[in-house]
Structure 1
Amino acid sequence: MVDASARHKLEYRYYTYDMNTPQKVILSAALQLGKRAMLSVDYEMLDYTTMNLYDTYGFVYEDVRQDIQRKLNNVRNLRLGAEWRLNDVMSLRGGYAYMPSPVKSSVITDHQEVFTPSLTPHYSIIDNKGTSVYSLGLGLRFDDFYLDFAYQNRSYGEQFYPYYNWVKLDGEALPHNNASYLKTTQNNFAMTLGMRF
Protein backbone atom coordinates (compact mmCIF):
# COMPACT_ATOMS: atom_id res chain seq x y z
CA MET A 1 0.00 0.00 0.00
CA VAL A 2 1.25 3.49 -0.86
CA ASP A 3 0.95 6.29 1.65
CA ALA A 4 -0.45 9.20 -0.40
CA SER A 5 0.28 11.66 2.39
CA ALA A 6 4.00 10.93 2.39
CA ARG A 7 6.16 13.81 1.21
CA HIS A 8 9.42 13.47 -0.62
CA LYS A 9 11.97 16.16 -1.18
CA LEU A 10 13.97 16.19 -4.38
CA GLU A 11 17.48 17.51 -4.34
CA TYR A 12 18.06 19.91 -7.21
CA ARG A 13 21.49 20.22 -8.75
CA TYR A 14 22.82 22.16 -11.65
CA TYR A 15 25.05 20.28 -14.03
CA THR A 16 27.45 21.69 -16.53
CA TYR A 17 28.79 19.52 -19.30
CA ASP A 18 31.93 19.93 -21.36
CA MET A 19 32.29 18.31 -24.73
CA ASN A 20 35.35 17.81 -26.87
CA THR A 21 34.36 18.44 -30.46
CA PRO A 22 36.08 16.56 -33.30
CA GLN A 23 39.71 17.43 -33.95
CA LYS A 24 39.94 19.42 -37.15
CA VAL A 25 42.80 20.17 -39.54
CA ILE A 26 42.26 22.32 -42.63
CA LEU A 27 44.68 22.67 -45.53
CA SER A 28 43.88 25.57 -47.86
CA ALA A 29 45.43 26.85 -51.06
CA ALA A 30 44.53 29.56 -53.55
CA LEU A 31 45.94 30.42 -56.94
CA GLN A 32 45.47 33.74 -58.67
CA LEU A 33 45.65 33.51 -62.46
CA GLY A 34 46.52 36.97 -63.72
CA LYS A 35 44.10 39.71 -62.74
CA ARG A 36 40.95 37.94 -63.86
CA ALA A 37 40.74 34.47 -62.28
CA MET A 38 41.24 32.71 -58.96
CA LEU A 39 41.04 29.07 -57.86
CA SER A 40 40.82 27.84 -54.27
CA VAL A 41 40.74 24.49 -52.50
CA ASP A 42 40.10 23.47 -48.88
CA TYR A 43 40.84 19.97 -47.62
CA GLU A 44 39.42 19.41 -44.15
CA MET A 45 40.13 16.42 -41.91
CA LEU A 46 37.80 15.73 -38.97
CA ASP A 47 38.43 13.01 -36.39
CA TYR A 48 35.04 12.26 -34.83
CA THR A 49 36.53 9.50 -32.67
CA THR A 50 38.19 12.15 -30.45
CA MET A 51 34.84 13.52 -29.26
CA ASN A 52 34.19 13.16 -25.54
CA LEU A 53 31.75 14.25 -22.84
CA TYR A 54 32.48 15.34 -19.23
CA ASP A 55 30.34 16.70 -16.42
CA THR A 56 30.95 19.40 -13.81
CA TYR A 57 32.78 17.03 -11.52
CA GLY A 58 35.18 15.73 -14.15
CA PHE A 59 33.36 12.46 -14.68
CA VAL A 60 34.11 11.01 -18.12
CA TYR A 61 31.18 9.27 -19.75
CA GLU A 62 33.14 6.23 -20.87
CA ASP A 63 30.12 4.53 -22.42
CA VAL A 64 29.49 7.60 -24.59
CA ARG A 65 33.16 7.71 -25.63
CA GLN A 66 33.13 4.02 -26.56
CA ASP A 67 29.89 4.45 -28.49
CA ILE A 68 31.42 7.35 -30.44
CA GLN A 69 34.51 5.31 -31.31
CA ARG A 70 32.40 2.30 -32.30
CA LYS A 71 30.04 4.22 -34.58
CA LEU A 72 31.91 7.21 -36.01
CA ASN A 73 34.78 7.60 -38.50
CA ASN A 74 37.38 10.11 -39.52
CA VAL A 75 36.16 12.11 -42.51
CA ARG A 76 37.80 14.26 -45.15
CA ASN A 77 35.78 17.12 -46.62
CA LEU A 78 36.70 18.80 -49.90
CA ARG A 79 35.73 22.29 -51.08
CA LEU A 80 36.67 23.76 -54.48
CA GLY A 81 35.99 27.27 -55.72
CA ALA A 82 36.66 29.38 -58.79
CA GLU A 83 36.02 33.00 -59.70
CA TRP A 84 36.42 34.65 -63.07
CA ARG A 85 36.24 38.40 -63.40
CA LEU A 86 34.65 39.12 -66.78
CA ASN A 87 35.23 42.88 -66.58
CA ASP A 88 35.48 45.64 -63.97
CA VAL A 89 31.80 45.20 -63.05
CA MET A 90 30.89 41.51 -63.41
CA SER A 91 32.33 38.30 -61.89
CA LEU A 92 31.23 34.67 -62.23
CA ARG A 93 31.73 32.14 -59.43
CA GLY A 94 31.43 28.40 -59.11
CA GLY A 95 32.02 25.90 -56.35
CA TYR A 96 31.78 22.29 -55.28
CA ALA A 97 31.90 20.66 -51.85
CA TYR A 98 31.83 17.03 -50.77
CA MET A 99 31.25 15.93 -47.18
CA PRO A 100 31.14 12.18 -46.43
CA SER A 101 29.06 10.78 -43.60
CA PRO A 102 30.94 10.34 -40.30
CA VAL A 103 28.80 7.29 -39.42
CA LYS A 104 30.42 3.90 -40.03
CA SER A 105 28.60 1.74 -42.57
CA SER A 106 28.43 -1.09 -40.00
CA VAL A 107 25.91 0.97 -37.98
CA ILE A 108 23.47 0.53 -40.87
CA THR A 109 24.39 -2.96 -42.07
CA ASP A 110 24.51 -4.49 -38.56
CA HIS A 111 21.36 -2.65 -37.39
CA GLN A 112 23.22 -1.24 -34.38
CA GLU A 113 21.38 0.53 -31.60
CA VAL A 114 21.38 4.32 -32.01
CA PHE A 115 20.26 6.65 -29.23
CA THR A 116 18.66 9.96 -30.16
CA PRO A 117 19.42 13.18 -28.28
CA SER A 118 15.81 13.63 -27.19
CA LEU A 119 12.66 11.66 -26.44
CA THR A 120 11.92 11.43 -30.16
CA PRO A 121 12.40 7.80 -31.22
CA HIS A 122 13.07 8.44 -34.90
CA TYR A 123 16.45 9.25 -36.40
CA SER A 124 18.22 9.28 -39.72
CA ILE A 125 21.75 8.48 -40.86
CA ILE A 126 23.36 10.12 -43.88
CA ASP A 127 24.40 7.34 -46.26
CA ASN A 128 28.00 6.57 -47.22
CA LYS A 129 27.74 8.61 -50.41
CA GLY A 130 27.79 11.73 -48.26
CA THR A 131 26.61 15.21 -49.20
CA SER A 132 27.43 17.00 -52.45
CA VAL A 133 27.01 20.74 -52.88
CA TYR A 134 27.23 22.66 -56.17
CA SER A 135 27.10 26.45 -56.32
CA LEU A 136 27.03 29.20 -58.92
CA GLY A 137 27.22 32.93 -58.43
CA LEU A 138 27.21 36.27 -60.19
CA GLY A 139 28.70 39.40 -58.66
CA LEU A 140 28.21 42.99 -59.80
CA ARG A 141 30.45 45.77 -58.44
CA PHE A 142 29.68 49.45 -58.84
CA ASP A 143 31.15 52.59 -57.27
CA ASP A 144 28.53 52.98 -54.53
CA PHE A 145 27.11 49.48 -54.14
CA TYR A 146 27.50 45.82 -55.02
CA LEU A 147 25.01 43.08 -55.83
CA ASP A 148 25.60 39.32 -55.53
CA PHE A 149 23.37 36.47 -56.72
CA ALA A 150 24.02 32.88 -55.63
CA TYR A 151 22.49 29.48 -56.32
CA GLN A 152 23.29 26.34 -54.32
CA ASN A 153 22.24 22.74 -54.95
CA ARG A 154 22.73 20.36 -52.00
CA SER A 155 21.91 16.65 -52.24
CA TYR A 156 22.28 13.68 -49.93
CA GLY A 157 20.69 10.34 -49.18
CA GLU A 158 19.79 9.09 -45.74
CA GLN A 159 18.41 6.05 -43.99
CA PHE A 160 15.37 7.10 -41.95
CA TYR A 161 14.41 4.91 -38.98
CA PRO A 162 10.99 5.51 -37.39
CA TYR A 163 11.99 3.73 -34.14
CA TYR A 164 15.04 2.69 -32.16
CA ASN A 165 16.84 -0.57 -32.86
CA TRP A 166 16.58 -2.04 -29.38
CA VAL A 167 19.06 -4.52 -27.98
CA LYS A 168 18.26 -6.82 -25.02
CA LEU A 169 20.49 -6.79 -21.95
CA ASP A 170 22.03 -10.10 -23.03
CA GLY A 171 23.13 -8.45 -26.30
CA GLU A 172 20.54 -10.13 -28.51
CA ALA A 173 19.06 -7.70 -31.02
CA LEU A 174 15.31 -7.43 -31.16
CA PRO A 175 13.71 -7.50 -34.62
CA HIS A 176 15.06 -4.38 -36.30
CA ASN A 177 12.88 -1.72 -37.80
CA ASN A 178 13.34 -1.29 -41.52
CA ALA A 179 14.69 2.00 -42.74
CA SER A 180 13.21 4.14 -45.46
CA TYR A 181 15.69 5.56 -47.92
CA LEU A 182 15.24 9.29 -48.44
CA LYS A 183 16.92 11.29 -51.18
CA THR A 184 16.96 14.99 -50.35
CA THR A 185 17.78 17.78 -52.78
CA GLN A 186 17.77 21.39 -51.66
CA ASN A 187 17.95 24.34 -54.03
CA ASN A 188 18.77 27.67 -52.40
CA PHE A 189 18.87 31.11 -53.96
CA ALA A 190 20.36 34.18 -52.29
CA MET A 191 20.81 37.82 -53.16
CA THR A 192 23.02 40.29 -51.30
CA LEU A 193 22.92 44.05 -51.72
CA GLY A 194 25.69 46.08 -50.14
CA MET A 195 26.14 49.85 -49.98
CA ARG A 196 29.44 51.70 -49.66
CA PHE A 197 29.46 54.87 -47.56
Structure 2
Amino acid sequence: MTREQFNLMSFLEGYVRNYRKLNLHQATNRSMFTKREIDYFANLGEMLGLFSFVEDTKPNLDYGRSRPMDLSWWKWDERIDKENYLYVVLHLERENLSRKDIETIDKLFCATEEYYLPHYVIGIQNVETKERINYLNKLVEERNLKQGSEVLMIYRYYDEVNSLDRIEAYHFNELSKIINNRNAISIVDNTGYWCMAFEEEYETWK
Protein backbone atom coordinates (compact mmCIF):
# COMPACT_ATOMS: atom_id res chain seq x y z
CA MET A 1 0.00 0.00 0.00
CA THR A 2 1.38 3.44 -0.93
CA ARG A 3 2.42 5.48 2.08
CA GLU A 4 1.14 9.04 2.41
CA GLN A 5 4.04 11.44 1.93
CA PHE A 6 4.07 13.98 4.77
CA ASN A 7 6.87 16.06 6.28
CA LEU A 8 6.63 15.74 10.05
CA MET A 9 8.99 18.66 10.57
CA SER A 10 6.55 20.86 8.63
CA PHE A 11 3.85 19.66 11.04
CA LEU A 12 6.14 20.78 13.87
CA GLU A 13 6.58 24.22 12.29
CA GLY A 14 2.82 24.66 12.06
CA TYR A 15 2.34 23.52 15.65
CA VAL A 16 4.93 26.00 16.96
CA ARG A 17 3.91 28.99 14.86
CA ASN A 18 0.18 28.52 15.44
CA TYR A 19 0.39 27.82 19.16
CA ARG A 20 -0.89 31.25 20.18
CA LYS A 21 -4.05 30.53 18.14
CA LEU A 22 -4.92 27.72 20.55
CA ASN A 23 -5.92 30.45 23.05
CA LEU A 24 -4.41 28.74 26.06
CA HIS A 25 -4.40 31.22 28.94
CA GLN A 26 -2.02 31.02 31.87
CA ALA A 27 -5.05 30.17 34.05
CA THR A 28 -6.20 27.38 31.73
CA ASN A 29 -6.17 23.94 33.32
CA ARG A 30 -3.86 21.27 31.90
CA SER A 31 -6.62 19.10 30.49
CA MET A 32 -7.55 21.96 28.16
CA PHE A 33 -3.97 22.02 26.84
CA THR A 34 -4.41 18.39 25.84
CA LYS A 35 -7.82 19.00 24.26
CA ARG A 36 -6.74 22.05 22.24
CA GLU A 37 -3.57 20.41 20.96
CA ILE A 38 -5.41 17.24 19.94
CA ASP A 39 -8.09 19.34 18.26
CA TYR A 40 -5.38 21.22 16.34
CA PHE A 41 -4.03 17.99 14.85
CA ALA A 42 -7.53 16.59 14.28
CA ASN A 43 -8.38 19.64 12.19
CA LEU A 44 -5.05 19.40 10.36
CA GLY A 45 -5.80 15.80 9.38
CA GLU A 46 -9.19 16.74 8.01
CA MET A 47 -7.68 19.60 6.00
CA LEU A 48 -5.31 17.05 4.47
CA GLY A 49 -8.31 15.01 3.32
CA LEU A 50 -8.05 12.31 5.98
CA PHE A 51 -10.53 11.09 8.59
CA SER A 52 -9.70 12.13 12.17
CA PHE A 53 -10.91 10.24 15.23
CA VAL A 54 -10.40 11.15 18.89
CA GLU A 55 -10.16 8.32 21.44
CA ASP A 56 -10.13 5.77 18.63
CA THR A 57 -9.96 2.05 19.41
CA LYS A 58 -6.70 0.17 18.84
CA PRO A 59 -6.08 -3.48 19.76
CA ASN A 60 -3.18 -3.79 22.21
CA LEU A 61 -1.78 -7.30 21.99
CA ASP A 62 0.67 -6.60 24.82
CA TYR A 63 -2.25 -6.23 27.25
CA GLY A 64 -4.78 -8.44 25.50
CA ARG A 65 -7.33 -5.65 25.23
CA SER A 66 -8.04 -2.49 23.25
CA ARG A 67 -6.72 0.88 24.38
CA PRO A 68 -7.78 4.22 22.90
CA MET A 69 -5.53 6.36 20.74
CA ASP A 70 -5.73 10.05 21.67
CA LEU A 71 -6.00 10.79 17.95
CA SER A 72 -5.85 8.81 14.72
CA TRP A 73 -5.92 9.73 11.05
CA TRP A 74 -7.29 7.16 8.62
CA LYS A 75 -7.03 6.96 4.84
CA TRP A 76 -10.24 6.41 2.85
CA ASP A 77 -10.37 5.80 -0.89
CA GLU A 78 -13.59 4.39 -2.29
CA ARG A 79 -11.87 3.58 -5.59
CA ILE A 80 -9.90 0.90 -3.74
CA ASP A 81 -12.26 -0.23 -0.97
CA LYS A 82 -15.89 0.84 -0.63
CA GLU A 83 -16.35 -0.56 2.89
CA ASN A 84 -13.13 -0.12 4.86
CA TYR A 85 -10.49 2.46 5.60
CA LEU A 86 -7.24 1.56 3.91
CA TYR A 87 -4.84 2.09 6.81
CA VAL A 88 -3.91 4.23 9.81
CA VAL A 89 -1.95 7.25 8.64
CA LEU A 90 -1.19 8.71 12.09
CA HIS A 91 -1.38 7.77 15.75
CA LEU A 92 -0.91 10.72 18.14
CA GLU A 93 -0.63 10.72 21.92
CA ARG A 94 -0.56 13.87 24.07
CA GLU A 95 0.30 13.54 27.78
CA ASN A 96 0.56 16.21 30.49
CA LEU A 97 1.88 14.07 33.33
CA SER A 98 5.63 13.45 33.27
CA ARG A 99 5.22 10.27 35.31
CA LYS A 100 3.34 8.75 32.36
CA ASP A 101 6.13 9.27 29.83
CA ILE A 102 6.90 5.56 29.43
CA GLU A 103 3.19 4.72 29.27
CA THR A 104 2.86 7.18 26.38
CA ILE A 105 5.60 5.37 24.46
CA ASP A 106 3.98 2.03 25.28
CA LYS A 107 0.73 3.24 23.73
CA LEU A 108 2.43 4.55 20.59
CA PHE A 109 4.46 1.41 19.95
CA CYS A 110 2.41 -1.45 21.36
CA ALA A 111 2.08 -4.76 19.57
CA THR A 112 -1.10 -4.60 17.52
CA GLU A 113 -2.81 -6.03 14.48
CA GLU A 114 -1.17 -5.16 11.16
CA TYR A 115 -4.19 -3.12 10.04
CA TYR A 116 -3.62 -0.71 12.96
CA LEU A 117 0.10 -0.10 12.41
CA PRO A 118 0.45 3.66 11.77
CA HIS A 119 2.62 5.08 9.03
CA TYR A 120 3.31 8.12 11.23
CA VAL A 121 3.49 8.64 14.98
CA ILE A 122 3.47 11.88 16.99
CA GLY A 123 4.08 11.91 20.73
CA ILE A 124 3.72 15.14 22.73
CA GLN A 125 4.99 14.61 26.26
CA ASN A 126 5.76 16.76 29.28
CA VAL A 127 8.96 15.55 30.95
CA GLU A 128 10.53 16.36 34.31
CA THR A 129 14.01 17.28 33.02
CA LYS A 130 16.04 17.62 29.85
CA GLU A 131 18.11 14.59 30.90
CA ARG A 132 15.04 12.36 30.73
CA ILE A 133 14.76 12.92 26.97
CA ASN A 134 17.79 10.81 26.05
CA TYR A 135 16.37 7.83 27.93
CA LEU A 136 12.95 8.18 26.30
CA ASN A 137 14.48 8.53 22.82
CA LYS A 138 16.35 5.26 23.31
CA LEU A 139 13.03 3.59 24.16
CA VAL A 140 11.48 5.04 21.00
CA GLU A 141 14.37 3.72 18.91
CA GLU A 142 14.00 0.24 20.40
CA ARG A 143 10.22 0.06 20.17
CA ASN A 144 9.98 1.51 16.67
CA LEU A 145 12.50 -0.91 15.15
CA LYS A 146 9.68 -3.42 14.76
CA GLN A 147 6.85 -0.97 14.06
CA GLY A 148 8.70 0.99 11.37
CA SER A 149 6.74 4.25 11.68
CA GLU A 150 8.06 7.70 10.91
CA VAL A 151 8.06 9.41 14.31
CA LEU A 152 7.96 12.94 15.73
CA MET A 153 8.52 13.12 19.48
CA ILE A 154 7.87 16.52 21.08
CA TYR A 155 9.11 16.91 24.67
CA ARG A 156 8.29 19.87 26.91
CA TYR A 157 9.94 20.77 30.22
CA TYR A 158 10.28 23.78 32.51
CA ASP A 159 13.53 25.75 32.56
CA GLU A 160 13.77 27.11 36.11
CA VAL A 161 16.80 29.30 35.38
CA ASN A 162 15.07 31.26 32.61
CA SER A 163 11.45 30.81 33.83
CA LEU A 164 10.12 29.43 30.55
CA ASP A 165 9.15 26.14 28.93
CA ARG A 166 11.53 24.47 26.51
CA ILE A 167 10.43 22.19 23.71
CA GLU A 168 12.73 19.64 22.08
CA ALA A 169 11.48 17.77 19.01
CA TYR A 170 13.07 14.71 17.39
CA HIS A 171 12.28 13.21 13.99
CA PHE A 172 12.91 9.48 13.60
CA ASN A 173 12.82 7.77 10.20
CA GLU A 174 11.27 4.38 9.47
CA LEU A 175 14.56 2.72 10.46
CA SER A 176 14.19 4.31 13.90
CA LYS A 177 17.14 6.68 13.52
CA ILE A 178 17.03 10.35 14.50
CA ILE A 179 17.39 12.36 11.29
CA ASN A 180 16.43 15.82 12.51
CA ASN A 181 15.73 17.76 15.68
CA ARG A 182 14.62 21.27 16.53
CA ASN A 183 14.12 23.27 19.72
CA ALA A 184 11.52 25.85 20.66
CA ILE A 185 10.59 28.14 23.54
CA SER A 186 7.14 28.62 25.07
CA ILE A 187 6.25 31.60 27.26
CA VAL A 188 3.20 33.51 28.44
CA ASP A 189 2.87 36.72 26.41
CA ASN A 190 1.91 40.14 27.81
CA THR A 191 -1.80 39.33 27.41
CA GLY A 192 -1.51 36.18 29.53
CA TYR A 193 -1.64 33.60 26.71
CA TRP A 194 0.86 30.86 25.90
CA CYS A 195 2.79 31.28 22.67
CA MET A 196 5.72 29.48 21.11
CA ALA A 197 8.69 30.21 18.85
CA PHE A 198 11.69 28.29 17.60
CA GLU A 199 14.77 28.82 19.71
CA GLU A 200 16.66 30.65 16.97
CA GLU A 201 13.70 33.03 16.50
CA TYR A 202 13.20 33.71 20.20
CA GLU A 203 15.64 36.63 20.27
CA THR A 204 13.24 38.70 18.17
CA TRP A 205 10.64 38.41 20.96
CA LYS A 206 12.81 40.06 23.58
Q: Is TM more than 0.5 here? A: no
Considering only CA atoms, is the larger Rg found in Structure 1 or Structure 2? 1
More strand by share: 1
Higher RCO structure, 1 or 2 (CA under 8 Å, sep 6+): 2
